[in-house]
Amino acid sequence: GDYDIDGVMSSCILLKALRSLGACVDVRIPERLRDGYGLNENLVRQAAADGIQLLLTCDNGIAAAEQIALANQLGMKAVVTDHHEIPFRVDGDGNREYLLPPAEAVIDPKRKDETYPFPGLCGAAVAWKLVDCLYRLCGRGDAAFGEFIEYVAIATVGDVMELKDENRILVREGLLALHHTQKPGLLELILQNQLEPEDLDVYHIGFILGPCLNASGRLDTAARALRLMMAETRQEAAPLAQELISLNASRKEMTVKGEEEAVRLVEESDLIHDRVLVVFMPDCHESLAGIIAGRLKEHFYRPSFVLTRTADGVKGSGRSIEAYSMYEELCRCGDLLTKFGGHPMAAGISLPEENVGLLREKLNRQCALTETDLTPKIVADMAMPFSYVTPELIREMDLLKPFGNGNPKPLFAQRDLRPFSPRVFGKNRNVVKLQMADAEGRRFDAVYFGDGEEFVSYCRTHPAFSVLYSPSIDTYMGRNTLQMTIRSYR
């Protein structure tokens, strides 16, 4: 398995399922700092020494052709389950040759010869599909759905997959199961985060539970998160959940410092002129590179890589914008890299330190992004006065849930709204409550999440402005009133 939330959930699904079918199974999740990403030669040789006959990968393996060839040489067979992009090389005529590992089976919805209708599954969903087939072959029918759908939903949201097509259904059903979960590890993690199972939605997975599970693989060992998921009693799960929450608190502090340093490095150097940011932070904790790259991408709205020095050279992660396929661009830089993999929107890389400057230069030289591509955009679904919003309309929109990446909340636009009595709340001063009035003088409640002081200052200097908003119902403290959630303004 991999050491992120998707890899942990994939490993959990396969481990529980195969053991329940009577298989003798061992599990290995690489240590981020010691082993790096995915299958490596040491893990393969150790498996052979331990008498393992079959290697089964999850959420990795598609780029491990050399390691799987070694497994074959050592007398083992291999089955790959993965969801990452298929590696390729380009010949002299510009044609792509896709490279599959020499395994007994390679299960990846992104295979170019794949006929499965939806390629956007996470690694845990691919592992679950395999288990579903095994269960049916063994006479268990569709039992895999009820046993593992919670894990699939958590991995889908935590790995930031698009909530469209099959993924939306998997997450919807997984949330329904989570509302009544009796799985000890999940229940303890939920309750110790001061949440109630019946209230869980995509936000709680993406911003509270998911980061705790990921913190294990970032600062310690992902095996700790796996042990929590495998816990058979709440008594066993409780201390593990608390450890993950503490690790995540430490991760947050380290991330804030790392983000501040990364922004400073860009703003105080000629990096500020690059269309693709390659930021080398030698002392950055390797596990935080992806998070900080994501923050840089949001701050500057450019594809961003954060690289750090390790015992094995330089490693790092990248996060991209819609107009830039990070994986494809890296394929064109393969001569500078030791190892890489990922998706259009995110990637991980390894390279010699002397190639850092060359990578920055090549990525920017071959970059075709325009100023339009590098301008953040928020697109409204339609212009609609808030006076059209009714509780019935909101209930109808709720049928589109769960909302998230690839399936955003409906977003509407309205011009010439006047703000009244804005007040800033929250310990971080990032919530503003106010009333807005339209041209006919109708007033309604509104809320804005963001830089509270900046928004209030804007309200004071602009007697009327346009907003993009999502309608909602405010249920705080027993209320049941229509509310405009302001997403953007000008």
The pLDDT value given to residue 311 = 85
Q: What is the Cα Rg of the chain in Å?
A: 24
The burial of 74, by beta-carbon neighbours within 10 Å (0-12 exposed, 13-18 middle, 19 or more buried), is given as middle
SS3 of 41, please?
Answer: helix
Q: Is residue 426 part of a domain?
A: yes
Q: How far apart are the C-alpha atoms of 205 and 178, rounded to whole Å? A: 10
Q: Provide mean pLDDT across the span 287-303.
A: 95
Q: How is the beta sheet containing 54-58 ordered, strand by strand?
A: 54-58, 77-81, 105-107
Q: Helix H segments across 220-322?
A: 222-230, 234-267, 289-300
Is 18 in the same domain as 162? Answer: yes
State whether 16 and 42 are in the same domain. yes
Identity of the residue numbered 293? A
> What percentage of the chain reaches a pLDDT higher than 90?
87
What integer pLDDT is reported at residue 258 of this predicted model?
96
User: At 59, which CATH number?
Assistant: 3.90.1640.30
**10 and 48 fall within a common domain:** yes
Residue 411 and residue 287 share a domain: no
Q: Are 141 and 274 within one domain? A: no
Question: pLDDT tens, 232-264?
Answer: 999 999 999 999 999 999 999 999 999 999 999
The answer to whether position 130 is within a domain reads yes
pLDDT, mean of residues 424-436:
92
Q: Last residue of some domain: 153, 178, 203?
A: 178
216 closest CA partner among 228, 233, 232: 228
> Is there a domain that residue 11 lies in?
yes
Instruction: State how far Cα 136 lies from the chain centre.
Output: 31
Alpha helices in 179-233 (DSSP H): 184-192, 202-204, 210-219, 222-230
pLDDT digits (tens, 9 = 90+) for 127-157: 999 999 999 999 999 999 999 999 999 999 9
Dig out the tokens for 261 from the structure. 């340093």
Residue 35 has pLDDT above 80, yes or no: no
The pLDDT of residue 426 is: 86
Closest CA to 247 of 226, 219, 222, 282: 219
User: Do 361 and 396 lie in a common domain?
Assistant: no
> What Å distances lie between residue 377 and 125, 160, 346, 488, CA to CA?
31, 20, 20, 11
Q: Are residues 15 and 158 in the same domain?
A: yes
Amino acid present at 477: M
Same domain, 131 and 51: yes
Other C-beta atoms closer than 10 Å to the C-beta of 323 total 13
Question: Is pLDDT above 90 for 408?
Answer: yes
pLDDT tier for residue 428 given thresholds of 50, 70 and 90: confident
What is residue 233's predicted lDDT score, i.e. its pLDDT?
Answer: 97
Q: What is the mean pLDDT of residues 79-94?
A: 89
pLDDT score at 148: 97
Q: Are 166 and 147 in contact (CB under 8 A)?
A: no
Task: Judge if 88 and 135 occupy the same domain.
Answer: yes
Looking at 178, 209, 229, which one is the last position of a domain? 178
Asked if the structure places residue 318 within a domain, the reply is yes
Q: Dump pLDDT digits (tens) for 110-120.
A: 999 999 999 99
Number of neighbours of residue 207 by Cβ within 10 angstroms: 10
- Give pLDDT, residue 55: 96
Whether 86 and 159 map to the same domain: the answer is yes
User: Residues 143, 25: one domain?
Assistant: yes
Residues 316 and 434 in one domain: no
The domain tally of the chain equals 3
User: Which phi and psi (to 5°) does residue 149 adopt?
Assistant: -65, -30
Residue 28, Cβ neighbours under 10 Å: how many? 16
Say what angle helices 123-137 and 143-158 make with each other, to 10 degrees: 170
pLDDT score, position 479: 79
- Whether pLDDT at 60 is above 80: yes
Q: Indicate whether 251 belongs to any domain.
A: no
Q: Residue 184: which of 244, 152, 232, 242 has the closest Cα?
A: 232
Q: How far, in Å, CA of 261 to CA of 111, rounded?
A: 39
- The pLDDT of residue 404 is 95
Q: What is the reported pLDDT for 94? A: 81
CA distance 367 to 61: 29
- Provide the whole-model pTM: 0.88
Average pLDDT over residues 28-48: 86
Domain annotation covers residue 229: no
Residue 422 domain boundaries: 382-489
**Would you say residue 217 has pLDDT above 90?**
no
Which has the minimum average pLDDT: 188-202, 207-221, 406-420? 207-221
Q: 366 pLDDT exceeds 90?
A: yes
Q: Are the CB atoms for 347 and 326 separated by under 8 Å?
A: yes
- CATH code of residue 456: 2.40.50.460
Q: Looking at the domain assignment, is residue 205 inside a domain?
A: no
- What is the structure's pLDDT at 91? 81
Q: How many helices (H) and strands (E) does the chain have?
A: 17, 16
Q: Which tens digit of pLDDT belongs to each residue from 149-205?
A: 999 999 999 999 999 999 999 999 999 999 999 999 999 999 999 999 999 999 999
Instruction: Give pLDDT, residue 34.
Output: 76
**317: domain CATH number?**
3.10.310.30
Residue 478 in this model has a pLDDT that exceeds 80 = no
The answer to whether the beta carbons of residues 80 and 106 sit under 8 Å apart is yes
Q: Is 22 domain-assigned?
A: yes
pLDDT at 343 over 90: no
Please say which residue of 365, 397, 429 terminates a domain: 365
Beta bridge partners of 468: 413, 488
438-454 tens-digit pLDDT = 999 999 999 999 999 99
